[in-house]
Amino acid sequence: MVHFPRFKNWPIAIGLSFLGLLVALMLHGAAPSHAEQQAPPAQVHPLPMALQKWQSDQQGDYFDQVKVTRVGYLVWSHFPVRVFVQPAPKSLPLVRQKWPQAVDQAIQDWQTYFPIEMTTEASQADILISAIDPTQRSQGRVRSAETRFKLYVDDQNRLAHRCTIQVRANQTETYIAAAVRHELGHALGIWGHSRLASDALYFSQVRTPAPISARDMNTLRRVYQQPTRLGWPVTASSPPANTP
């Protein structure tokens, strides 16, 4: 069992840059937590029903581009995954008009394939989406959107994660929807990028954004067949043995 004394506070981000630069994975240090806990061993969860049912004539995926995080693959194990959409800031009245529809569209796109639902309680959300310009830069360029996750231990003592998606909202409704669709793909588990512009998880923003493709879904299904430490119980670490 790997010892994770500080796993509660590792935000990790992945971003969609304007010019399609590389996947950025970052690990930040964090203050050590008092109670040291041991992360559970990585195991495979049952495949969600929606992914069991997923069938397509189109073969192929980009699973080899999906990064494994320190806790394994970013697999959800409770369904539906709950999404909270923060209203756009009052200081941006034009954005406030198009923001809800654009985000709704992206969520509906995924609902065709995956059990996610909106929640009106931010505290209940697994994924939080906000119209905030991403802070991270990629080779000097501001990203158009970004997804991060944080780890915590849930009320059933399981290692859990929560994602935040930040999207630049001064774009057209179509581009906001495409950016959210792309970032939701990361948040649902595709922690990497496709090299084909016909996939929603293509690494760059393009003029005509792709819908969720068979390759996106084939990739997602493979992700959910992988082991993860998420969703399994943590154990308190035993005190160090006294050696004479």
74 near Zn ion (CB under 5 A): no
200 near Zn ion (CB under 5 A): no
Q: Which stretch binds Zn ion (CB under 5 A): 9-17, 24-32, 45-53, 89-97?
A: 9-17
- Cβ proximity to Zn ion: between 79 and 113 the closer is 113
Beta pairing, strands 159-167 & 141-153: antiparallel
- Cβ proximity to Zn ion: between 14 and 169 the closer is 14
Report helix, strand or coil for 101: helix
Report the 10 Å Cβ neighbour count for 67. Answer: 14
Beta carbon of residue 145, minimum distance to Zn ion (angstroms, whole number): 7
Inter-residue contact 64 to 231 (CB < 8 Å): no
Size of the site for Zn ion (CB under 5 A): 1
16 near Zn ion (CB under 5 A): yes
Nearest 5 degrees, angle CA 17-CA 166-CA 106? Answer: 90
Beta carbon of residue 178, minimum distance to Zn ion (angstroms, whole number): 11
Beta carbon of residue 14, minimum distance to Zn ion (angstroms, whole number): 5
Nearest 5 degrees, angle CA 199-CA 204-CA 207? Answer: 80
- Cβ proximity to Zn ion: between 40 and 185 the closer is 185
129 near Zn ion (CB under 5 A): no
As a whole number of angstroms, the distance between CA 165 and CA 125 comes to 12
Inter-residue contact 51 to 44 (CB < 8 Å): no
Token pair for 53:
């049912």
- Cβ proximity to Zn ion: between 143 and 222 the closer is 143
Beta carbon of residue 91, minimum distance to Zn ion (angstroms, whole number): 27
- Cβ proximity to Zn ion: between 16 and 176 the closer is 16
- Cβ proximity to Zn ion: between 192 and 231 the closer is 192
Helices marked H in the chain — which ranges?
49-53, 93-111, 173-188, 214-223
Nearest 5 degrees, angle CA 134-CA 139-CA 142? Answer: 25
Q: Which stretch binds Zn ion (CB under 5 A): 11-19, 79-87, 108-116, 155-163?
A: 11-19
190 near Zn ion (CB under 5 A): no
Cβ-proximal residue to Zn ion, closest one: 16
As a whole number of angstroms, the distance between CA 169 and CA 186 comes to 19
Q: Kindly list the residues in this chain that would bind Zn ion in the complex (CB under 5 A).
A: 16
